[in-house]
Amino acid sequence: MSAYPNIKTLKCLLVNPPYSYYSGNLWQKIRYYDPPLSLMALAGYGRSKGFDMDILDLSFCGYPTDKLEKDIAAYVSGIQNIDYIGITTTAPTISISYKIIRIFKKYLPGAKIIAGGAHATFMYQEVLDSGLIDIIVRGEGELTLAEILEGKKLSEINGIAYKENGIVHLTPERERITNLDLLPYPAYDLIDIKKYKPIAGAYKKLPAMLMVSTRGCAGQCSFCRRPVGHLESAFSPERMFSEIKYLTEVIRIKEIVFYDENFTSDRNKVIFFCNKLISEGMSLSWVCFSRVDSVDEALLRLMKKAGCHQIMYGAETFDSKQLEAINKRITPANIITATRLTQKAGIECRLSFIIGLPGETKTDIQNNIRHILKLNPDLIVVNIITPFPGTAMYAQAKAGNRLLTENTDDYTGATPIIKSDTLSPAELVQQYRKMYLAFYLRPSYMLRRLFSIKGWLDLGVNIKAGFAIISYALKRKKHD
């Protein structure tokens, strides 16, 4: 049902499609649902310009699903007309997004369809060729979407792609928003926050909410895509604190998950922010992502004092040549130092790793496992290398005819996508499982997690994660 029951028409409905995790992916068993933060930001900005906006989150339909049409039909039954329907896209959700659009066209044939997100940004030709999309918003969306809703001539709107008379037109890139403080708060009221939880192991309190304090990333990793580019723009720490006060006092949020690519990229901002939380006496629990080369002992101790209880770092591998090959611009020593300093500060350390990097062998992976067990972080995340469209690695793999599949439903991080000269697809999946199970099925690790439990919520999270890992270990491998 619409968030505007008394409004018979909407200027724009923003739709979040369900995400696909096939059964061989451990995260299917321990993930929940993240709030559609980018759509909430777009809706907040659209409303600030006077447009009636709403969000329909179809994540809860599951995937694959026959429930989609029932939910969409129920939603549109209370609305006479929607001028624009915007849908966010990623590689794994593009096929289900097309299905959603076809359903909407059945009920609202006059609505203009807008696609945004990473996949539409980088694969605009393919998406427009589907014949289902009228306009693609490339990159940062607030200013572009507002101009579309205002009815501005498409050829005069920067940052879009569209078809006219069968020809694809690409307008100049949209200028980045450099002062993010000018943006309104995301439309938190358009979702039911109690339905959402971070992934198991990444929170201590509920309800929790995602936040982004910076956009863009200066990193140049070959496997990573940047829909808004490499230029970093940031909310001021004052604005961050103001929004957090709103979330804690009005919406009663108890935990924040910062989704910045590198929360600690601006050390002075983090120091100001942490000191503000401490001086105001805010009892806020929070986690963030960072790089192993952008933290130090003093900063980590301050973050802990301000409520940070977990940091995730992209380690990827302990092989220095592989790190150089993917342009990660870190060293194994950086990984070791950051992990030890983080744990010394009393903050949980979650490391992410990639297997299947070009030229990687079983011996290399076994060396990674050995280093992981010796370093002993609190949590690990493992992905099979997945070159998403828009990355340098994807372009290289496609040019070299090394893509095993271009069916993006499989681009979930648990399926081999790039042809390896050293490991078969079955061996890659085997090594993927081996790394997970070697880390999580250790008796010493299980006891460590057991003794770290604090409170019933923490107990429930650890029980769910524990059963997920055990069932994953017992499940037959997809590629066996």
118 with 246, same domain: the answer is no
For residue 180, being part of any structural domain is answered with no
Among residues 76, 121, 119, 125, which one has the least CA distance to residue 95? 119
Buried b (16+ CB within 10 A) or exposed e, 12-21: bbbbbbbbbb
∠ Cα 409 118 69 (to 5°): 55
402 with 470, same domain: the answer is yes
Say what the pLDDT of residue 381 is.
92
Residue at a domain's end among 170, 186, 205: 170
Is residue 453 predicted with pLDDT exceeding 90? no
For residue 183, being part of any structural domain is answered with no
Tell me the DSSP string of 205-231: SSSEEEE-SEE------TT---TT-S-
Any idea what the CATH number is for the domain that residue 127 is in?
3.40.50.2300
122 with 265, same domain: the answer is no
Say what the pLDDT of residue 134 is.
98
130 with 205, same domain: the answer is no
Burial class (CB in 10 A: 0-12, 13-18, 19+), 170: middle
For residue 128, being part of any structural domain is answered with yes
Among residues 413, 360, 404, which one has the least CA distance to residue 382? 413
Among residues 164, 239, 190, 253, which one has the least CA distance to residue 55? 190
For residue 187, being part of any structural domain is answered with no
Q: What is the pTM of this model?
A: 0.91
Tally of domains within the chain: 2
Strand pairing report for 135-137 and 81-88: unpaired
309: left (phi over 0), alpha (psi -120 to 50) or beta: alpha
Say what the pLDDT of residue 477 is.
43
149 with 19, same domain: the answer is yes
Segment 9-22, tens digit of pLDDT = 899 999 999 876 54
Q: SS3 of 113, please?
A: strand
For residue 360, being part of any structural domain is answered with yes
Say what the pLDDT of residue 391 is.
86
What is the separation of C-alpha 192 from the centre of its chain, rounded to a whole number of angstroms? 19
Segment 219-250, tens digit of pLDDT = 778 888 777 776 788 999 999 999 999 999 99
> What is the C-alpha to C-alpha distance for residues 323 and 325, in angstroms, rounded to an integer?
5
164 with 201, same domain: the answer is no
Any idea what the CATH number is for the domain that residue 379 is in?
3.80.30.20
Q: Which domain does 30 fall in, by range?
A: 9-170
Q: Is residue 135 very low, low, confident or very high in pLDDT (cuts 50, 70, 90)? A: very high
For residue 156, being part of any structural domain is answered with yes
Return the bridge partners of 382, or none. Answer: 353
Q: Is residue 147 very low, low, confident or very high in pLDDT (cuts 50, 70, 90)? A: very high
Say what the pLDDT of residue 390 is.
85
Evaluated on CA atoms 197, 202, 204, 209, the torsion sign reads: negative
166 with 89, same domain: the answer is yes
142 with 205, same domain: the answer is no
275 with 359, same domain: the answer is yes
Segment 303-350, tens digit of pLDDT = 999 999 999 999 999 999 999 999 999 999 999 999 999 999 999 999
350 with 458, same domain: the answer is yes
Residue at a domain's end among 123, 155, 170: 170
For residue 50, being part of any structural domain is answered with yes
> What is the C-alpha to C-alpha distance for residues 75 and 3, in angstroms, rounded to an integer?
10
For residue 192, being part of any structural domain is answered with no
Residue at a domain's end among 122, 151, 170: 170
> Mean of the per-residue pLDDT values for the chain?
89
Say what the pLDDT of residue 220 is.
78
132 with 48, same domain: the answer is yes
* 443 prior amide bond cis, ω within 30: no
6: left (phi over 0), alpha (psi -120 to 50) or beta: alpha
Segment 272-308, tens digit of pLDDT = 999 999 999 988 999 999 999 999 999 999 999 999 9
227 with 327, same domain: the answer is yes
Structure token pair of residue 212: 């982004």
Say what the pLDDT of residue 306 is.
96
